[in-house]
A and B are shown apart, each in its own frame.
Chain A
């Protein structure tokens, strides 16, 4: 459905370049993960180069591609081989227990996809039969067949979409919650004012999506701007959606602070850090220095202080998180810890990612943060996403974080999915 809906969003213009002319950003090392669609552990961001115009293919176009058909039959073959081994019908070559377990996992992972593929097969056969009936001499029968054909086409379309969705591997982090960080960039007070507006926009987005939004850090400037802030966001699909918001956002307008009516360009940066669970990522408490206003003097019953701000320094890396949102010192500590954990975890992920990508001389992992992804032009009342060349109008509504942002976000997701799929097919065909 999503594939179809998106088509209506984009005009089919001459300037669209198809994805396939994109340089070969081939992810060699993760080939195996990507081929088995469900074990994808790689960190994926939307690949973007210079203003990249891409065309979104329809489901039919995708299914018409030989590479997709080949990929699907390869999966089917893999599945039936595994199934044979698991069900014990091949006795000649007893495999190790580990191997057996791996194959069993594969079978259960692939079965929803196989199921859909079989359903599609059946539907397509039905379709062929119906087409025969369309040539029948009986008029009533022909009308019936016409009706049948429509239903069939719809079912085929739905199944194809389902198959495409199932082919896209989930990222490990997609299932987690996240910490959102916003930081004012170039442009002084104006950048801080814009930063505050974007932070509010994501607050609105979270509410619109029914996610929780808990502010961890909030450092304001004198005139109501925001230097830096972070918030913990959780809810279904929160990371999966928010990851497309990471990058540099640019604003072009006449700032409130500008006396001579000149247009300024300022920026702010969004970072989206997956929030690790306690189990997946631990921090040694010995590596932390916790700073509070009670650190000097006797503490305890001797002093009654109200300043409950907490600052935590991670000594090996020098990463700092602080919180003074709460009156309870312990609460502030918990929140600062949350921000710190997310920062450290994302550093770790980035390190792992860049290591992987450096070997292939491609820098995808670092792009997320440093790249200009979107422009908010107030004079033209438009928001343009440079990754997919999509422009929407009505900035004010966009900044509410409701339907317009949602639409933009969905488009990004569609493009990302297609991009992933294309990569997958390339890998698959190269494997032979």
Chain B
């Protein structure tokens, strides 16, 4: 399912790293070709290394050359961004050890490995999360999805979040755990269920939950909503909110992705089928059986999706009411909210 596209020129790999536990070994070429700049013979400062690698990334057509060089070197010098690194540190000479680390990580980036995988961590809202291929790297738009859910849940819970309002939310396709963990971090009374079809994702979510001390309120299951809907239904009782950033790319768009994505991220977390709606439709179909009454579905989707989703849900899932479409920071229609509305008939059926 997951292919590593490796150009032949990169075959002269010196080192391999293995990832994953159950699905065999994922190997990544730590590329060392003739085009990797030699370790400088004379000592250089961090600022010089920064410039050297920026130029090199640029020449080799690596995207975001300046940011890549900055994030990697800032990370190795103990800061998150170059802006928060003390100015003096940039003017200091790099130790031999640090220089080797810079070369090692920047060489990985040269193979188009995303910066987040290179430094093995990234920030999502106020959390710092472990990042590991091939688990999907959370995008900034998803921070806004969480904002949306939080605002809604906080409104629902009211000013006094008492023990009786024990709420549970469900996340389909948790990846690194970013969404569920952010919600748990902010709402101290909330419980969460997180599902993913990938064992790597389940493992990474578990690891991140443990690191952040949020494991006790999070249940994580390795289950595929497409193949095992019954299992999903049996796991999830009545949840207040169902949140998902499902794979929503149209299959045809999978061909035009940058190498950072196509070579390293799990396509199962991206490819939503011909119209990008395969998993979305499945989630909407299952949602009424998992949500409590007035419970809501929050989806991150492709900007082309909202009208399609509204139309499809009206026809196919009567228990769900389309509430609204929300836009992301760049003004694209990005989030859909639907709500379960129990009709009287449903009640009668339930009572039977």
Contact = CB atoms under 8 A, between A and B. Distances in A.
Interface stretch (A135-143, A327-335, A391-399): A327-335
Given A218-B83, A302-B257, A329 B143 contact: yes
Interface stretch (A84-92, A111-119, A290-298): A290-298
Contacts of A224: 87-88, 90-91
A64 interface: no
Contact of B330 (A196, A294, A328, A330): A294
Nearest to A196: B87
B81 A303 contact: no
A307 B67 contact: yes
B249 A302 contact: yes
Contacts of B303: 298-300
A308 B329 CA distance: 12
A251 B88 CA distance: 21
A304 B137 contact: yes
B196 interface: no
B330 A306 contact: no
A324 interface: yes
Interface in A293-321: 294-295, 298-308, 310
B114 A304 contact: yes
Given A295-B330, A304-B137, A306-B116, A331 B126 contact: yes
B194 to A, nearest CB: 18
A325 interface: yes
A306 B80 CA distance: 12
A303 to B, nearest CB: 7
A327 B122 contact: yes
Given A304-B139, A304-B261, A333 B115 contact: no
Given A330-B125, A331-B125, A300 B139 contact: yes
Contacts of B328: 299-300
Identify the interface centre among A215, A303, A324, A330: most chain B CB within 10 Å of its CB: A330
A325 B328 CA distance: 21
B248 A300 contact: yes
A333 B67 contact: no
Given A290-B329, A292-B329, A305 B83 contact: no
Contact of B83 (A292, A298, A299, A324): A324
B258 A292 contact: no
Contacts, number: 109
A300 B144 CA distance: 11
Contacts of B83: 215, 218, 220, 324-325
Nearest to B248: A301
B64 A305 contact: yes
B219 interface: no
A306 B141 contact: no
Interface in A260-306: 290, 292, 294-295, 298-306
A326 interface: yes
B330 A326 contact: no
B91 A329 contact: no
Nearest to A223: B91
A300 to B, nearest CB: 5
A339 to B, nearest CB: 14
Given A224-B87, A299-B330, A325-B83, A304 B258 contact: yes
Contacts of B116: 304, 306
B253 interface: yes
A328 to B, nearest CB: 4
Given A295-B330, A307-B67, A330 B80 contact: no
Nearest to B143: A330
B126 A325 contact: no
B248 A328 contact: no
B329 A301 contact: no
Contacts of A329: 140, 143, 329
Given A300-B139, A301-B248, A301-B249, A220 B330 contact: no
B139 A308 contact: no
A136 to B, nearest CB: 67
A333 B329 contact: yes
B46 interface: no
A330 B144 contact: yes
Contacts of A308: 140
Given A215-B84, A324-B83, A325-B81, A300 B300 contact: yes
Interface string A77-115: 000000000000000000000000000000000000000
Nearest to A310: B329
Interface in B318-345: 328-330, 332, 334
B106 interface: no
B124 interface: yes
A305 B65 CA distance: 11
Given A292-B330, A300-B139, A330 B68 contact: no
Nearest to B114: A304
Interface in B255-289: 257-258, 260-261, 265, 269-270
B152 interface: no
A334 to B, nearest CB: 10
A331 B258 CA distance: 26
Identify the interface centre among A224, A302, A303: most chain B CB within 10 Å of its CB: A302
Contacts of B123: 326-328, 331
Contact of B143 (A220, A303, A304, A328): A328
Given A224-B91, A331-B125, 9 more contacts: A196-B87, A292-B329, A294-B329, A299-B303, A300-B141, A301-B247, A302-B253, A325-B81, A331-B126
- 6 pairs of A and B residues whose beta carbons are closest in the complex: A329-B140, A327-B123, A330-B143, A328-B123, A295-B330, A224-B87
27 contacts: A196-B87, A220-B87, A292-B140, A292-B329, A294-B141, A294-B330, A298-B253, A299-B141, A300-B139, A300-B141, A300-B302, A300-B332, A301-B136, A301-B247, A301-B249, A301-B270, A304-B137, A306-B67, A308-B140, A327-B81, A327-B123, A329-B143, A329-B329, A330-B125, A330-B143, A331-B123, A331-B126
